[in-house]
Amino acid sequence: TMKGAIFDLDGVIVDTAKYHYLAWQALAKRLGFDFTEEDNERLKGVSRMESLRILLEIGGIEAGEVERLEMAEMKNREYVSSISKLDPSEILPGAREYLELLRGRGVKIALGSASQNAAFILSRLGIARLFDAVIDGTKVSQAKPDPEVFLAASEALGLRPSECVVFEDAAAGVQAGKAAGCKVVGIGSPDILHQADRVIAGLYELI
């Protein structure tokens, strides 16, 4: 049985992918190329610097380390300005209810996200208090599909990975959860998330 639940943020609790997309698109435009919504799929669950690497590859642009850091910072400023307007109405259907249901059952809850803006987003959504631990992009060095984020999350909950269930929308995240030794519920399309133990369309299916 599940003693701990570890949630990814973007795509599971809130759809911040659209704001990431707008910010990356603005950067691409400055650099003189088009960045499509389809291209953006490749950035889901991927860290900021790896996302930038993919973006520059799509645009066929070479840039040194200092320049890359500047670009990433520019993108993040744009992103932070749009997520500053987030409010609880943007929590994905069923997410809050499911978190509350799990708490009621005594299940420990952690966040396992690649985002360095995770704590800010949780507070904007008004659900920070529902998490016993927050492991995010400020605390881990290896990006998904590396299991680090989920190993750290289960440890922070005082549980073994095998006692935890990971909820993930990205293929790299599902892979990371399995590599950590957790059970994984994929959220989205079974075609993309076939490595998960179970795939659902959204957390509303579980309440």
Binding site for Mg ion (CB under 5 A): 8, 10-11, 45, 169-170
Question: Can you tell me the distance from the alpha carbon of 91 to that of 31, in angstroms, rounded to the nearest whole number?
Answer: 33
Q: Kindly tell me which of 115 and 154 has the beta carbon lying closer to ligand B16.
A: 115
Contact of residue 116 among Mg ion, ligand B16, none (CB under 5-8 Å per partner type): ligand B16
Check residue 8 for interaction with ligand B16 (CB under 6 A).
Answer: yes
Among 59, 94, 137, 202, binds ligand B16 (CB under 6 A): 137
> Residue 46 binds which one of Mg ion, ligand B16, none, with CB within 5 to 8 A depending on kind?
ligand B16
**Nearest partner of 155 among 1, 4, 2, judged by Cα:** 4
Tell the residue number behind the tokens 């360095």, with chain if given: 116
Q: Which does 113 bind (CB under 5 to 8 A by kind): Mg ion, ligand B16, none?
A: ligand B16
Give the whole-angstrom CA distance, residue 32 versus residue 199: 39
* b (16+ CB within 10 A) / e for 51-61: bbeebbebbee
Nearer to ligand B16, 83 or 159 (CB): 83
Beta carbons within 10 angstroms of residue 148's beta carbon: 18
Are 40 and 200 in contact, with CB atoms under 8 Å apart?
no
Contact positions with ligand B16 (CB under 6 A) in 52-81:
76
Tell me which of 4, 6, 51, 186 binds ligand B16, using CB under 6 A.
51
Shortest reach from residue 7's CB to ligand B16, in Å: 9
Interaction pattern, residues 143-172, with ligand B16; x per rule: CB under 6 A = ---------------------------x--
**Does 10 participate in catalysis according to the annotation?**
yes
- In angstroms, the CA 105 to CA 92 distance is 21
CA gyration radius for the chain? Answer: 17
Question: How many Cβ atoms from other residues are within 10 Å of residue 184's Cβ?
Answer: 25
Interacting residue ranges for ligand B16, rule: CB under 6 A: 8-11, 20, 43-48, 51, 76, 113-117, 137, 170
What residues are annotated to the active site?
8, 10
